[in-house]
């Protein structure tokens, strides 16, 4: 067993208003942001978690939410500087922050870059006014375009554009219009994913009418072709990037890497090669509880059962287009490949979902299309 690369996830839970499809731990902003107080708690949280990792190097940081770009560049700078003093942060660490379009927020991009952010992920979702309204987004298409233009002009070495498809009553032509408008803005990275209806959301309580499976497949097929023709390489089920611009933080998740999670409701995964165990942590979810000094930040801490590790590994690793070295399975989970799972792999190969060589497993194009079918082989 070996230690995988290590990342840090930072959760900032506030947003202007919660979108009806969102099941993330986010809270509509009802008063002034407690920037300084929350950053102080984040850094205290990290100081406690740092004891878990010793002198291991943190390779990437991802600041998600919520809407982290509601915080000032000064607060983000204080956060990043504080992180550097508490963990061994790689000199060339990828540091991503999520942002939503808007005149005030997007104008801060240059300030965020100066504060230490070197990758912005902009949540566009759609350029169509009707769809933006249905999704509960507070920006319009003009603000979306302005945000991307400012990401270019801010001098950021890379940035991502988030785009959804399979939206309520969306046609193939309408979805391709969104793709074309996104491509015209030349982002370095594009996260292009299908809207799903999640429990405990307004959309789950009052489901909108979504496109049927035939339309969804046409959207995916035509969109993939356009992205490929424009020079974007698909490296994960819903992630496309120009050469050299893959998201290293998300790659570490999908390669079954380790990560500390600080902030409200943040999840972490840490490997202990001395004991051969993998531990998952969850922090207190609500901002009020998280920022009560008399309470610990940790909500739950669970050692992953050995029987769960194979599925967790395959569920993450098989989202990637790249071949998976077979040796990674035991090296990162600490368990041997049993006959049960070897039979499951062979079954996936027989179904045309997986290619197997002496050294690698490779998900096929069919396997990516029917990912749930592939993963069901290991349940």
pLDDT of residue 106: 64
Residue 208 has pLDDT above 70, yes or no: yes
β-bridge mates for residue 181, sequence order: none
Q: Which residues of 38-57 are buried (b: 16+ CB within 10 A; e: fewer)?
A: bbbbbbebbeebbeebeebe
* Both structure tokens of 263: 């902030």
Q: Considering the entire predicted model, what is its pTM?
A: 0.95
Q: Could you tell me what percent of the chain has a pLDDT over 90?
A: 82
158 membership: H or E segment, kind and range: strand 158-165
pLDDT of residue 31 exceeding 80? no
pLDDT of res. 16: 82
Summarised one tens digit per residue, pLDDT across range 3-27 is 999 999 999 999 887 777 777 778 8
The token pair that represents 329 in the structure block: 């399975």
Its sign, for the CA torsion 362, 365, 370, 372, is: positive
Q: Give residue 121's pLDDT band: very low, low, confident or very high (50, 70, 90).
A: very high
Backbone angles phi, psi at 245, to 5 degrees: -120, 25
pLDDT for the residue 104: 57
* Angle, CA 318 vertex, CA 313 and CA 321 arms, to 5°: 140
Distances (CA, A) of 288 to 13, 282, 297: 11, 16, 11
Give yes or no for residue 71 having a pLDDT over 70.
yes
Query: Which segments of the chain does DSSP mark as H helices, in order?
Result: 35-49, 73-86, 103-106, 109-115, 129-134, 141-153, 172-184, 202-205, 213-229, 248-254, 287-290, 309-317, 327-333, 339-350, 365-369, 371-376
CB-based burial, 312-337: b 16+ in 10 Å, e otherwise: bbbbbbbbbeeebebebbeebbbbee
pLDDT of residue 105: 66
Give the span between the Cα atoms of 265 and 285, in whole angstroms.
4
- Whose tokens are 């531990």? That residue is 279
CA distance 112 to 90: 19
Please give the torsion angle defined by the CA atoms of residues 367, 368, 369 and 370, in that order, rounded to the nearest 10 degrees.
50
Q: What is the mean pLDDT of residues 93-99?
A: 97
pLDDT value of residue 149:
92
Nearest to 45 by CA among 279, 252, 264: 264
Task: Give pLDDT tens digits for 41-70.
Answer: 999 999 999 999 999 999 999 999 989 999
Cα within 13 Å of Cα(158), Cβ side = 17
Burial of 173 (0-12, 13-18, 19+ CB in 10 A): exposed
For the segment 261-273, the average pLDDT, to the nearest whole number, is 97
């Amino acid at each position: 067993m070996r230690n995988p690369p290590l990342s840090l996830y930072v959760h900032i839970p506030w947003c202007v208003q919660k979108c009806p499809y969102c099941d993330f731990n986010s809270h509509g902003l009802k008063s002034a942001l407690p920037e300084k107080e929350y950053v102080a708690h984040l850094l205290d949280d990290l100081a406690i978690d740092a004891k878990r990792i010793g002198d291991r190097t943190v390779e990437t940081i991802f600041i998600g939410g919520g809407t982290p770009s509601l915080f000032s560049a000064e607060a983000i700078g204080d956060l990043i500087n504080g992180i550097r003093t508490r963990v061994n942060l790689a000199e060339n660490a990828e540091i991503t922050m999520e942002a939503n379009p808007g005149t005030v927020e997007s104008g801060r991009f240059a300030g965020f870059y100066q504060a230490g952010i070197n990758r912005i992920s902009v949540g566009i979702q759609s350029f169509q006014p009707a769809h933006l309204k249905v999704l509960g987004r507070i920006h319009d298409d003009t603000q979306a375009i302005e945000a991307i233009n400012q990401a270019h002009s801010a001098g950021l070495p890379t940035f991502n554009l988030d785009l959804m498809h399979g939206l309520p009553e969306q046609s193939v032509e309408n979805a391709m219009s969104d793709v074309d408008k996104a491509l015209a803005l030349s982002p370095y990275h594009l996260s292009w994913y299908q809207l799903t209806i999640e429990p405990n959301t307004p959309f789950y309580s009052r489901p909108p009418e979504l496109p049927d499976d035939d339309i969804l497949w046409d959207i995916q097929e035509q969109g993939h072709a356009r992205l490929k023709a424009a020079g974007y390489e698909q490296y994960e089920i819903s992630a496309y990037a120009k050469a050299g611009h893959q998201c290293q933080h998300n790659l570490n998740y999908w390669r079954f890497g380790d990560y500390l999670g600080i902030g409200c409701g943040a999840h972490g995964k840490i490997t202990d090669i001395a004991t051969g165990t993998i531990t998952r942590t969850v922090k207190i979810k609500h901002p009020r509880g998280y920022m009560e000094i008399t309470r610990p930040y940790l909500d739950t801490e669970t050692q992953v059962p050995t029987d769960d590790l194979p599925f967790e590994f395959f569920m993450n690793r098989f989202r990637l287009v790249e071949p998976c070295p077979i040796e990674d399975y035991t090296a990162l989970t600490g368990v041997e490949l049993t006959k049960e799972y070897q039979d499951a792999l062979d079954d996936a190969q027989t179904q045309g979902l997986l290619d197997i060589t002496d050294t690698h497993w490779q998900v096929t194009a069919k396997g990516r299309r029917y990912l749930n079918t592939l993963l069901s082989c290991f349940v």
